[in-house]
Amino acid sequence: MTSRLRWVAIGVFMLANTLSFLDRNLLSAVAPGLRAEFGMSNEDYGNIVGAFSLAYALSAPVAGWFLDKAGLNLGISIGLALWSAVGIVTGFTAGYWSLFACRVGLGVAEAANIPAGGKAVGLYLEPRERALGTAAGQLGITAGSVGATLLAGVMTPAYGWRASFIVAGALGFLWIPLWLWVSRVIPHRETPAPAVKPVPLRSDRRYWGLIFATIFGGMTVYSLWTNWTTLFLTHVHRLPEATVNLYHAWLPPVFSALGAFTGGLLSSRFGGRSESLTDARLKAILVSAVSLLVTCAVPFLPTAALATAGICWSFFWAAALSANLYALPVDYFGASRAASGVAALTFAYGIMQAVLSRYGGRAVDLYGYGPLCVVAGALPLAAWAILRATSRQQTPPTA
């Protein structure tokens, strides 16, 4: 199988990311109007985001295990069908608690998405291609994030916010037969079994390093702008929701896609200097973490245009960090355990986002966005330190 065909398969697979983040980010895109209709405070909104995140986190280990045992195609087909159905049902919610329940259901179903992407990268790509494969996943995420803001911007004024959820959910059912056909035409590469039985994941310090690095800073900025961009610009700079979605909020996800590819290229460049693949990824993560300190200044920028530019810079480097962070478990544990390894990051991301959303929403209500952005922007350096301290290899190399 040629390299070009393998990348075609990855490209089609990463459309699942587009669909996942389209469904996921619609809540953020319609949040101002939805909050007004349901009488929700920032803390209430944070609780709903946190409920999604907690369900997402707790379901991720099971989803990763199921994907490694049942196989990539069955696992992602079930997950995508479920989250698409929940997305449609969200369009019929009648109040806070029905919305809360739908977001919990979406979190459970979408827990399969990122681990499945990690497994696809491990099965189809060579080790030094994996950060770029993760970046391709970020491109799918960006398309979904941009699509959510534009879909909400177009649909909400004409048909109300509910129509956006129904349309997005319906699109998911078109992807499943497409992927099943592509996976038959372009089979994944053969991955040799490790020569020595690997150490169980829970006994590997790198597994715990990935979890704690994600909880304590690896993805804080990513979570911040995924969930709060529209609310931040409408609240701080007093812009109408439609204006934010059509002219501002779709820009940061575009920069996040560019950042993800930059992160992949950075680690490839560093790895080309006779450094180990792990050292190259960690160096790219450090560059990203230092660049993310700009996040601390975003709430203090005087205009909406400058704030949007600051968010774009911040999201760019958050995605560069993410591309390398999510490539590490595939490097560490190989294709056969890739879904379980990436599921550890999904679990940790969900826990971090649940805490950040709940207490971040309360902090915004009490103190504004300054403290939230300062904490989120400084923490990625702590994540790099944790990864550096836990990066020693304990399992035999796998393909």
Torsion angle (degrees, nearest 10) of CA 278, 283, 286, 292: -110
CA 293 – CA 97 distance, rounded (Å) = 37
Return per-residue pLDDT of the chain as tens, 399 residues.
566 788 898 889 889 999 999 999 899 888 888 888 898 888 888 889 888 988 988 999 999 999 988 888 999 999 999 999 999 999 999 899 999 999 999 999 999 998 998 889 888 888 778 878 888 887 888 889 889 988 998 898 889 889 999 999 999 999 999 999 998 888 877 665 555 566 678 788 999 999 999 998 889 999 899 888 888 999 899 888 878 878 888 899 889 889 988 998 898 888 766 568 889 999 999 999 999 999 999 999 999 999 999 999 999 999 999 989 998 998 888 877 888 888 999 899 888 888 887 788 888 888 999 999 999 999 999 999 999 999 876 545 444
Q: How many domains is the chain built from?
A: 1
Q: Is residue 193 domain-resident?
A: no
Is 298 in contact with 307 (CB distance < 8 Å)? yes
Q: Is residue 188 domain-resident?
A: no
CA 345 – CA 336 distance, rounded (Å) = 17
Q: Is residue 228 domain-resident?
A: yes
Our measurement of the distance from residue 26's CA atom to the centroid of its chain's CA atoms, rounded to an integer in Å, reads 14
Longest alpha-carbon distance in the chain: 61
CA 67 – CA 112 distance, rounded (Å) = 8
CA–CA–CA angle 172, 329, 396 (5° rounding): 135
What phi and psi values does residue 352 have, to the nearest 5 degrees?
-60, -45
Q: Is residue 186 domain-resident?
A: no
First to last CA, the chain: 16
This model's pTM is above 0.85:
no
Q: Is residue 244 domain-resident?
A: yes
> Tell me, what CATH number does 140's domain have?
1.20.1250.20
Is 64 in contact with 116 (CB distance < 8 Å)? no
Q: Is residue 15 domain-resident?
A: yes
Q: Is residue 237 domain-resident?
A: yes
Q: Considering only CA atoms, which of 284, 383, 322, 272 is closest in space to residue 133?
A: 322
Q: Structural domain of residue 54, as residue ranges?
A: 3-181+201-389
Q: Is residue 191 domain-resident?
A: no
